[in-house]
Structure 1
Amino acid sequence: MARIDVNRSGEMEMFVRVVELGGFSPAARAARMTPSAVSKLIARLEARLGARLLNRSTRQLQLTPEGCAFYERATRVLADLEDAERAAGMGEAAVGRVRINTSASYATHILAPLLPEFLASHPGITLDIVQTDAVVDLLAERMDVAIRAGPLKSSSLVARKLGETPLVIVAAPAYLERRGEPLSIADLENHDRLGFGYARSVDGWTLREQGKTTIVPVSGRVQASDGEGVRQLALSGVGLARLAGFTVRDDIAAGRLVPVLDHLQTGDKETFHAVYVGQGGPLPSRVRALLDFLARHGRVS
């Protein structure tokens, strides 16, 4: 890339490049500049802003809190500039890569079946899908959108609700034939309750019996890193599982899984959101296209 002019957008672009490439030297090589010139440019930016953006050491650079905030806003500004240039030169077609972080369950049962329609409608967009049930830092992981289940913590993320789904306790017929069907909370002591290998907002199954609400701890010999893994374990007859309704609806209809303890359920539902970095400001058209599509077609129930 040619040398970046010293102006506000150029300073932002160089700062973002330093952060994303991990240092002055790789950023300088990419921009065909010297490391000292890049260092001076960043120092001039910090002086103009009156804030330190990077803590420098001999081995690495570390973003300060002010640097994190500036990086977040700078990436949005640069994306908006890119969108504006595209719109002027080739219309409002959404173009570019969108990185999505999503649970394996949502990816399997909701997102994957919708992809042919989305990709056909937006030929200029490419998708990079990362599947994990663990909550990731969108900024640190360079994610554009994340699909998250459960209550949202207060943060700088903006959320669009994608619906909610009931939680269902299920087991494979073969497991119930072997171990018997639980009819009460006490019966669960004799059953393997499949768990998750990561922290959850409620560590257990909330059930109500004789007017009393109890959180039953998950206590089984096997756990998995995501909901789809737990579903596969349940299908294999390893134990009981409490899963989002939309992930097991077809299994129940086909008789592969059987709901149990419905009479003890509290009506708990799991809410899904599409979240992204920002405070409601303009979004890149590629991200906005995906969010609008998911709001229309990617809802859970």
Structure 2
Amino acid sequence: MARIDTNRSSEMEVFVQVVEQGGFSAAARLCRMTPSAVSKLIARLEARLGARLINRSTRRFQLTPEGSAFYERATRILADMADAERAAGAGERPVGRVRINTSASYANHILARILPDFLVLYPEISIDITQTDAVVDLLAERTDVAVRAGPLKSSSLVARKLGETPLLILASPAYLARFGEPRTIADLDRHNRLGFSYVRAVDGWPLREGAETVVVPTVGRVQASDGEALRHLALGGSGIARLAGFTVRDDIASGRLVPILQHLDAGEPEEFHAIHIGQGGPLPSRVRALLDFLAERGRVA
């Protein structure tokens, strides 16, 4: 087995701090180094990698594409190293309160089903659940774990993937009987498209039009702040909604909701992640216990 150079982890740690602090001077103060020492370390790292990671001048600081890719990998490697060290020294009993921030859909369809078993396994852990589809600041909201859907942005947060689920366009039989079933993109102009009341990564429904993909906006008369509310609105016949597959499987099986426009849907499956702050020190055993449980029992499909 090749020998691992322990200085590489130190280089990664300094580089990550340079990126997250926005410059050499701020990173130097945090790492208890001089700015010149930090600059030389980054230069040695770039020379060893054979790639420029940072474009810098007296006024500007900007990551190169190679620097962005290295930052993403470095944060994951450092998190894995921290997890390995925590696992090797694990012996503390999981005790205390864990604060979870998640969507109403995940809370109702996943957490509600699996939490009873978690509470039996860990009788000394208490759970606080806050439901929102909006992205929150984990530190400001005093959140231990956030479960989020969609692509992850570049961040110092650590994420565990909880699977992925298809997004389906659906309506109730009563709505379709009253307004007819849309079969083309143009048909949607005559229908009430239920949407979210906040801006999302893809603000609309991606549908195929020939060889192209068009994003159809949700400009219906009703909007809501979470997917579970949209599901209930669709069940009640208020309009057409695009919902996560794991939340509507029972509705489809029972005939309460009908999938439509499947031949036109161009959307990718939606990923789910459990996100936590993991770069600032050891992870509490109560949080680690929940993350491990979600990775095993809290996956979506």
**TM-score, normalised on structure 2?**
0.69
- Unaligned 5+ segments in structure 1 are 1-45, 51-82
Taking the aligned partners of 2:139 and 2:222, their CA distance within structure 1 comes to 33
Residue aligning to 2:240: 240
What is residue 167 of structure 1 aligned with on the other side?
167
Pair 1:120 & 2:120 matched? yes
Considering only aligned residues, what root-mean-square deviation do their CA atoms show, in Å? 1.8
The answer for the alignment partner of 1:287 in structure 2 is 287
Q: Is the 8 A contact 1:182 1:260 kept in 2?
A: yes
Matched with 1:276 is 276
Q: By how many angstroms is 1:199 displaced?
A: 1.3
Poorly superposed stretches of 4+, deviation over 3 Å: none
Match of 1:69 in 2: none
Distance (whole Å) between structure 2 residues aligned to residue 116 and residue 94 of structure 1: 16
Q: Does 1:250 align with 2:274?
A: no
Aligned to 1:226: 226
Q: How big is the shift at 1:281?
A: 4.9
Decide which moves more: 267-276 or 277-286.
277-286
Q: Which moved more, 1:192-201 or 1:279-288?
A: 279-288
Residue 282 of structure 1, CA deviation: 2.6
Q: Shift of residue 156 of structure 1?
A: 1.5
Residue 187 (structure 2) pairs with residue 194 (structure 1) = no
SS in 2 for 1:261: coil
Distance 2:155 2:282 in 1: 18
The answer (yes or no) to whether the contact 1:158–1:280 under 8 Å persists in 2 is no
Query: What is the 5 A alignment of 1:1-301?
Result: 92-279=92-279, 281-301=281-301
- Whether the 8 Å contact between 2:206 and 2:267 is mirrored in structure 1 is no
Q: Structure 2 vs 1, CA of residues 295 and 97 (structure 1 numbering), >3 Å: closer, same or farther?
A: same
Counterpart contact for 2:207–2:267, Cα < 8 Å: no
SS in structure 1 of the partner of residue 263 of structure 2: helix
Q: C-alpha separation between the residues in 2 aligned to 1:278 and 1:293?
A: 17
Letter in 2 for 1:178: R
For residue 139 of structure 2, give the secondary structure of its aligned residue in structure 1: coil
- For structure 2, the 5+ residue unaligned runs are 1-28, 34-85
Deviations 1:13-52 (A, max 9, x none): xxxxxxxxxxxxxxxxxxxxxxxxxxxxxxxxx9xx99xx
Q: Which amino acid aligns with 1:119?
A: L
Offset, 1:280: 8.2
The answer to whether the 8 A contact 2:181-2:260 is kept is: yes
Q: How far 1:146 moved relative to its partner?
A: 0.1
Q: 1:134 to 1:267 in 2, by over 3 A?
A: closer
Q: Sequence identity, in percent? A: 72
SS at match of 1:262: coil
> Aligned partner of 1:153: which letter?
K
Deviations 1:83-110 (A, max 9, x none): 9xxx8xxx63200000000000000001
The residue aligned with 2:82 is none
Q: Deviations over 1:91-134 (max 9, x none)?
A: 63200000000000000001110011000000010000000000
Q: State the AA in 1 paired with 2:115.
A: L
Paired residues in the alignment total: 216
Q: What amino acid sits opposite 2:217 in the alignment?
A: P
State the shift of 1:219 in Å. 1.1
User: How far 1:212 sits from its partner (Å)?
Assistant: 1.8
